[in-house]
Structure 1
Amino acid sequence: MLNSVRLLVLSLLLLVIENYVYDDARFFVYGVVDEYGRDDFPDEFVFGSGTSAYQFEGAVLEDGRSFSIWDTFAHSGVPWNNGENADITCDGYHKYKEDIELIADMGLEAYRFSISWSRLIPNGRGSVNIKGLQFYNDFINRLIAHGIQPHVTLNHFDIPQILANEYGGWISRKSVKDFVAYADVCFREFGDRVLHWTTFNEANIFSLGGYDYGFSPPGRCSSPFGFNCSKGNSTSEPYLVAHNLLLSHASAARLYRQKYKASQHGFIGFNLLGFWFEPYTNTTKDVKATQRARDFYLGWFLNPLVNGDYPEIMKKNAGNRIPTFTKFESQRMKGSFDFLGLNHYTTLYVKDNSISLEMDTRDFDADMGVTYTFGTGNEFPAQFPVAPLGLQSLLNYMKEEYGNPPIYIHENGQAQPRNATLMDTPRVEYLHAYIGALLDALRNGSNTRGYFVWSFLDLFEVIGGYASAYGLYYVDMADKELTRYPKLSAHWYANFLKGKNLSATIPNIMNHVRALPSVASSTRLPLCRMTPSTRPASPFKTCKWSYFMKSDPK
């Protein structure tokens, strides 16, 4: 049975704007600083954008890459991806050189991307794939040659499927050893040029979406929770997976500090999806429920990383379903990060639902005992509500509750339908408001070090497939060359980064955007589209998924 919390979480990730028209020249003030420029931020503060390996690279059957749990999940026909997958996506594996030129032309100071474990070490452990190594070396070298900082994520929802087949992937403690060995290869091969490492992307949402709700890879859940999964246990697996992610992170961080830090001088971080939570009313019940939501969504990982253990309310409500840290593990965990990454999109308003604690069988949501709303009067609005004060509040909470650690806003952006328009004024308004909120937070003492727009290109999204587009650049999926076109937001962001007067340049930007080729009508990629004829033919003439679609352990 689908409850309102799951539907809301799914809608959060599927938000796109339908026939939404804005006055071109209108820019709203959302209670944050409205007039600012790049020079209002510290020189050492970095602005960038990003992608992830599975969503960007394509080439899933080329040069020795094996399949990840995301490949398998996308090919399972989940309805919220419209039956689509990222076999080709933006074809970043072949087009990365021109993409890096676009990144440089925009004036990005940093670029966030992930490494595909399946491309670098196809068997999950053991020998390194030379072709994969060459690809990432060249990618990093080209970024650096253009003066762009590489910010690398080690795992973005895509552990090799072969490890899921062998022992269940992240539900097994065996994953810790394999992840650390993989991280060791990355540090050894790329660490002389990469200073910023993030172990896991959105560890909280990966644990929930993949192992409680079942709407993201690997799609595990159990009745009456989740979305009709065929395997899994929603009551325990999210907690188990989160525990193994934390242990993997702490072990990889310890390895880096002992083996590489002295010579490479880099930094290790951890990333979470960071909604901000406000009480729906000022009643005591809603106020307490809001703190529970913060403890469950943020404290679930931040408390162990900062204090060495889970929040007391989680241990009380989840009982023996939440694993415990040994004293040794707790000591290793505490302080095992140099920075935190937060992916922030909007604010949620929390209502008490503590009656769920009376259920005989509970999952994460029932243990938390809350429900959410956007506070807009519409349970499922057409787009993320623009609520930049939530970002300020989130950063202030990090300062007050967790000692003001160094923070990077790793993702912030607004979705639109892919084939809507290049004139993405709503996204410009969104970015303008949130960057202003970030500046206010910095002036109030936040230790935030950087900001990354999600995403650089229109990608294959976790929820929505190709229908939902966050990119600064439009990718024409109907064109075999997958041509990139800058949207209004790309021009706006570039002008901001180059220190130009934003108000004065907007009309000229708009005229330039209008002169671009019109956006093609919606065209879906077939599930197994072959590589364009301009490139050497793939040795795989059809998508051969049979082996990698084997059921992983129940």
Structure 2
Amino acid sequence: MEQGGAGSRRRARGIALLVLAVVSLRALHAEAAAITQSDFPEGFVFGAGTSAYQVEGAWDEDGKKPSIWDTFAHRAADQYHKYKEDVKLMHEMGLDAYRFSIAWTRLIPDGRGAVNPKGVEYYNNLIDELMTYGIQPHATIYHFDLPQALQDEYNGLLNPRFIEDFMAYADLCFRSFGDRVKHWTTLNEPNIEPVGGYDLGSLPPRRCSPPFGESCAGGNSTTEPYIVAHHLLLAHASAASLYRDKYQAEQGGQIGVTLLAFWFEPATRKLEDVEAAARMFDFSVGWFMHPLVYGHYLPVMKRNAGTRLPLLTAEESARVRGSFDFVGINHYGAIYVVVDLSKLKQSPRDYASDAAVKYITLPFQSSRNKHGLGMTNHPAPWALRKLFEHLKHKYRNPPVLIYENGAGHEPDPSGGFLYDDRFRSHFLQDYIEATLLSI
């Protein structure tokens, strides 16, 4: 993608960047190397992505305090101490970009108030190291890791006070790093955190209610996912407005939001299943894309969720609409669904019930993907192309940055320490081809 002014950005509408979140050092087998970077338009960017709580480690060092993910699981790599080695590896791999997230509690340990200079120093060092090797820094401000102090104080994302605290944190990020960071993502997957954390209770802060989740620390699965998503949407829009009003003209960067975007495919050709797949996409991706583009929630969500779905006021609608320069997409495959209208008759109903679909597990069509047999989310490069077409026609062809894609399966074992990971190689190559064909 050309990195010039508005004219070049308009020419680059559509797929702007490919960042693969799962990258294998041994992925370039001769049989999987038919497509090379030279086949893509000049300036097209390839890179890798991580999140702070997965790779930094040092969760309690140099003034950092816990996030809700630190409370949930102390498991990470050690990039905090080995960032120079990591950046050198990125350079040796030939990466053009690195997408990382900033840990809120490393910068502001209590979520608000005093800034931790050691945290600011770490991210300055990481960004400077990337710039030394000519690797673009792509920064995510919030990747699920809410400060535990804010969760304890006012229930975190359930409280609109979160929006003001998030804006102050985002302001610090823009002020400290925006002279070098030209690609900002406010939130990672705000369409997933409300479901995992507040409906099913499988993710921090593990809130849910029966019969939708088990062993949760309080919660209400019927209302809280919608409240949390609403606050996240407003937090994104507020931070984007802040960036545009205060920093963008001088710093020359772009700002967006990243959504998890599976493609939902009907398991049969029945009209009701086709409609169910479209409805599930609306409830998943359209949950945020529709207000971001049109300023209001989808009619089907208003109809099925009723008063449990908060309303956007006229002022909020104006703030949300158009509050992005690009859309980040995390895409891992297709999910097959059929209709299940019986869920609409349940009482109580949660977010998943409101969508009125049932997931179907089908075997993969290709033998090369046999290692994923039985998974609900199918590696399906054609799904990526369908996703782009849908975004183009329904949501006015927004610039898209693919921030996550890859295969989280076990490698193909071949004995000993080394292995021949053909499945992952094919997976990545097929998706790269789908991206090229979409352009």
Match of 1:393 among 381, 386, 389: 386
Deviations 1:340-374 (A, max 9, x none): 01100010111000111011200011100001124
Residue 39 (structure 1) aligns with: 38
Q: Deviations over 1:86-128 (max 9, x none)?
A: 2xx2111101110100001111000000000010000111121
Residue 374 of structure 2 aligns to a residue in which SS? coil
Post-superposition shift, 1:207? 1.2
Residue in structure 2 matching 1:252, options 223, 229, 239: 239
The change in CA–CA distance for 1:134 and 1:418 in structure 2 (over 3 A counts) is farther
Q: Which protein is bigger by CA-based radius of gyration?
A: 1
TM-score scaled to structure 2, two decimals? 0.88
TM-score (norm 1): 0.70
Aligned equivalents of 1:397 and 1:418: distance in 2? 32
Deviation at 1:182, TM superposition (A): 0.1
| Aligned pairs for 1:41-190 within 5 A | 41-74=40-73, 85-86=74-75, 89-190=76-177
> Which protein has the bigger helix share?
2
**CA deviation after TM superposition for structure 1 residue 291, in Å:** 1.2
Deviations 1:409-465 (A, max 9, x none): 1000001338955432211010000000000111xxxxxxxxxxxxxxxxxxxxxxx
Aligned residue in 1 for 2:263: 276
Identity percentage of aligned residues: 52
Say whether 1:339 aligns with 2:326: yes
Paired with 1:383 and 1:315, the residues of 2 have a C-alpha distance of: 28
* 2:102 and 2:139 in contact (8 A); partners too: yes
- Aligned-partner Cα distance in 1 for 2:246–2:374: 49
**Distance in structure 2 (CA, Å) of the matches to 1:316 and 1:192:** 45
More RCO (CA 8 Å, sep 6+): 1
Partner residue, 2:425 = 428
Whichever residue aligns with residue 319 of structure 1, its letter is: G
Q: Check whether the contact 1:347–1:374 (CA below 8 A) recurs between aligned residues.
A: no
- After TM superposition, give the deviation of residue 383 of structure 1 in Å: 8.7
* Separation (CA, whole Å) in 2 of partners of 1:310 and 1:431: 34
Describe the superposition over 1:217-245 as per-residue Cα deviations: whole angstroms up to 9, x where unpaired.
21111110023313111111110010000
C-alpha separation in 2, matches of 1:418 and 1:290? 31
Distance 1:342 1:388 in 2: 14
Secondary structure at 2:81 match in 1: helix
Q: Tell me which moved more, 220-229 or 189-198.
A: 220-229
Q: How many Å separate the matches in 2 of 1:436 and 1:424?
A: 19
Q: 1:212 to 1:380 in 2, by over 3 A?
A: farther
Aligned to 1:549: none
> Given that residues 124 and 178 in structure 1 are in contact (C-alpha distance below 8 angstroms), is that contact kept between their aligned partners in structure 2?
yes
**Residue 299 to residue 230, structure 1, CA distance change in 2 (3 Å):** same
Query: Corresponding residue for 1:369?
Result: 356
Q: Which amino acid aligns with 2:63?
A: G
Asked whether the 8 Å contact 2:200–2:213 carries over to 1, the reply is yes
Distance in 2 (alpha carbons) for counterparts of 1:40 and 1:418: 28
Q: Of the candidates 395, 405, 408, which is equivalent to residue 402 of structure 1?
A: 395
Q: 1:295 to 1:382 in 2, by over 3 A?
A: closer
Distance 1:227 1:402 in 2: 37
CA contact (8 A) 1:112 1:153 kept: yes
**Retained in 1: the 8 A contact 2:363–2:373?**
no
Per-residue deviation, residues 34-68 of structure 1 (Å, max 9, x unmatched)? 94221111122110001110000000110000000
Q: Residue 384 of structure 1 contacts residue 414 of structure 1 at CA under 8 Å; is this kept in 2?
A: no
Q: In the TM superposition, what whole-angstrom CA distance separates every residue of 1:165-206 from its partner, at most 9, and x where no partner exists?
A: 000000110000000000000000000000000011111111
| Aligned residue number for residue 408 of structure 2 | 415
String of CA shifts for 1:454-482, please: whole Å, max 9, x gaps: xxxxxxxxxxxxxxxxxxxxxxxxxxxxx
Matches within 5 A, 1:25-36: 35-36=34-35
Query: Is 2:299 the partner of 1:312?
Result: yes
Contact 1:348 1:375 in 2 (8 A): no
State the match for 2:274 in structure 1: 287
Give the match for residue 450 of structure 1.
none
> Does the CA contact (< 8 Å) of 2:209 and 2:219 recur in 1?
yes
Q: Deviations over 1:153-175 (max 9, x none)?
A: 00111010000000000011000
Are residues 276 and 59 of structure 1, via their aligned partners in 2, closer, same or farther at CA, if it must alter by over 3 Å?
same
1:321 maps to which of 291, 308, 315: 308
SS of the equivalent of 1:213 reads coil
1:299 partner SS: helix
CA distance in 2, matches of 1:243, 1:270: 14
Task: Kindly report which structure 2 residues correspond to 1:514-525, keeping only aligned pairs within 5 A, or say none.
Answer: none
The SS at the match of 1:122 is coil
Counterpart-to-counterpart distance in 2, 1:262 and 1:41? 30
Correspondence for 1:192: 179
